[in-house]
A and B are shown apart, each in its own frame.
Chain A
């Protein structure tokens, strides 16, 4: 199924996940008390998990690369690691997307937990290699916990977005 199968209005509605993702990634940069306490989740992981699980077609690989690159930019990490990891996460989730779509919330949350741990552990290793210094693990573990705890909230909020998205079955 390609984007050529969708009507113009459907294509416009396909921009909703992209726009929402951009907004939420940039929101993480806003200086606030909440962010100072590092209570903002690694939002890209949650968005990728949600959208790819529900409909891989609305989260193309190139968009994963771009949103990961933006996350690299605004999180002060080296450029590249999150672009790579979001793509790998997208590919991994796509293989399971059909099955995940039929799973209940608890299984999805477990999947998000596993993916968050793998993603942030890989990021920690890559950043240690880039900075040539072993980084303390505790801030990463804290970030894993915060991210996993945020998923139910994001899941609930994104349920309102799903009806706005076009029907993912190809048009006749």
Chain B
């Protein structure tokens, strides 16, 4: 009986080739599975993602140090160069603020009196958690931030995130000491809002760019260019009256809203703990 003798080198190379092919198939299947799980918004995947980001946060902070130093030096040089102009500008702003302070105090007193008259019960209260932005997770297809406050600090999913200028986004996922924030400009962001003047309600839809779209308005809405858009309590997720932007243009029935300032690049944020009654 004739026996086939397979050269050792040929067997080894064939085996290696088979192993390589199998490894390749395994990697492709793993990637496809991850995509499928992401589409299904699998919680285990989201938790693993947040845990990894939290472990990477110190690396992000370390890499950010030269950039922060550069910004500090730039800010100092800029401050020295424009000190006189800034001083003048601050004096003018101070005068304006004094005027508005007296107006605000008068309105507060009037508001208080009216509330007592109407026996008004406040509908909500809010406390804030301050956090530093440790990572900019944005790209062409998503706008997200990583901040250094998490579950241990009281941060929960869907809480609103603001800075000095208004609404930035909301918390999407948390780990013990980090949270991922989806900016209002993200394409998957949907925020219930109301026009401050006309009181028309709608949904602020992120478009992946600076401009956002105000959708689901009533056909007879009275929103006009320049109107302030603020959050509402509809749905119970957002605290009311946080500025989300102003109406920039209305073209072919589409209402475009621009944030008060670009939502990318904040250094510190505040996470709103909304207490509904």
Contact = CB atoms under 8 A, between A and B. Distances in A.
A84 B144 contact: no
Given A30-B63, A73-B53, A143 B140 contact: yes
Given A26-B63, A135-B141, A143-B140, A79 B135 contact: no
A84 B32 contact: yes
Interface stretch (A51-59, A105-113, A122-130, A149-157): A122-130
A39 to B, nearest CB: 11
A80 B111 CA distance: 54
A72 to B, nearest CB: 8
Contact of B30 (A31, A65, A139): A65
Nearest to B50: A73
A18 interface: no
Contact of B24 (A32, A61, A68): A61
Contact of A29 (B30, B38, B60, B141): B60
A13 interface: no
Interface residues of A, number: 48
A77 interface: yes
B265 A79 contact: no
Nearest to B33: A80
A138 B188 CA distance: 16
Nearest to B267: A31
Nearest to A31: B136
Contact of A75 (B27, B137, B180): B137
Contacts of B265: 31-33, 36
Interface of B: 16, 23-24, 27-28, 30-39, 45, 49, 52-53, 56, 59-60, 63-64, 67, 71, 133-146, 180, 187-188, 207-209, 262, 264-265, 267
4 closest A-B pairs by beta carbon, nearest first, are A80-B34, A78-B38, A36-B265, A84-B31
